Structure 1
Amino acid sequence: MYVTHEKVAVEFLLDDLNDLVHSHADLIATYEDAQKQVKAPELKRLLEQLREDQAINVQLLAQLVSEHGGKLNDTTDIGQIAPRMRVVFGSLLSDGAVVRALHTAEAKLVQEYTRAINNLTYIPGLESVLESNRLSTQRRQGRLQIAINLDE
C-alpha cells in the first residue's frame, strides 16, 4: 500500500481532533455530575451554561472531522474518569471544591488545545477553530475562577 504524506497527516489530524472531542465529552459528563452535586441554584445555572458551551466546541470540532473525511468519536473515555471523581469527592466538601475540580479540568483542556495548535496549524482552516475553542475554554475557566473567588 502506498501511503502519501497527506494521508498520514489527515489520519493524525483526525486522531488529534477526536482526542479533543473525547476531552470535551468527558468534561460535559463532568459538568453533568457537578450540576447534580452542587447546592446553589446560581451555580447550577452557571454549570449548565458552561456545559452548553462545551457542546458548541464539540460541534465545531465535528465539522472539522467531517470536512477531512473522518468519523466523529464523541464517546467518553473511561481512562479520563479522574475529573469526574474529583467532582464527586469535592461535593463531599463544598460547592467550591466541585468548581475547583472543573477549573482544573478546563486548565488541562487549554493545554491540550495549545499542544494541538502547535502541532496542527499547518492544515488550512484548522487554526481558527482551535484558537476559537481554546479561547472559549479559557473564558469558561475564567468564569469558574470567579465562582471560586466568590466562594472564598
Structure 2
Amino acid sequence: MSVSEDKTMLAKAETLIEALPFFQRYAGRTFVVKYGGHAMGDPEAARDFAEDIVLLKAVGINPVVVHGGGPQIGAMLKKLGVESTFVDGLRVTDKATAEVAEMVLSGAINKELVGWIANAGGKAIGISGKDGGLVKATKVTRTTK
C-alpha cells in the first residue's frame, strides 16, 4: 500500500470514528435523503453518494432516497422537441411534459440510482411516487396581477 493510500485509509477511519456517536444515536431510524438532478451529472459523486447510502444501511440507519431529475427531464424534452415553460421557477407540466417526466424519472434515473447502490454493495428497489398512490399531487395555479 502506498503512502497516499495509507493517508486515505487513515482519513476514512478518523471520519468513521468521529461519526460513531451519530450512527449510534440514529440506529433504527429512517432518513429521507434528497438526491438532486444536478448532482447526478458527476459519476464520481454518484458513486460516493451510493457508498454513503450503503454505509448508512450498514450502521443500522434506513435510508430512503428521493431523487430529482430536472436537468435530465429538460434535456429529454429538448431532444423530443417539447418546449419547457417555467413560471416562478416551477416547470409548467402539461400532459406531454408529465409523460416525459415520468419516463425519465421512473424509467431512467430511478433504475440508474438503484444500479449505483447495487454496485456499491447495497440492496435497493426503485419505486415511483405514483406506485400505490404513494405521492399525491395538487395542481398549482398562479394568477398574475
TM-score, with structure 2 as normaliser: 0.33
Look at both structures and tell me which one has the larger radius of gyration over its CA atoms: 2
| Larger RCO: 1 or 2 (CA < 8 Å, sep 6+) | 1
Would you tell me which structure has more strand in proportion to its own residues?
Answer: 2
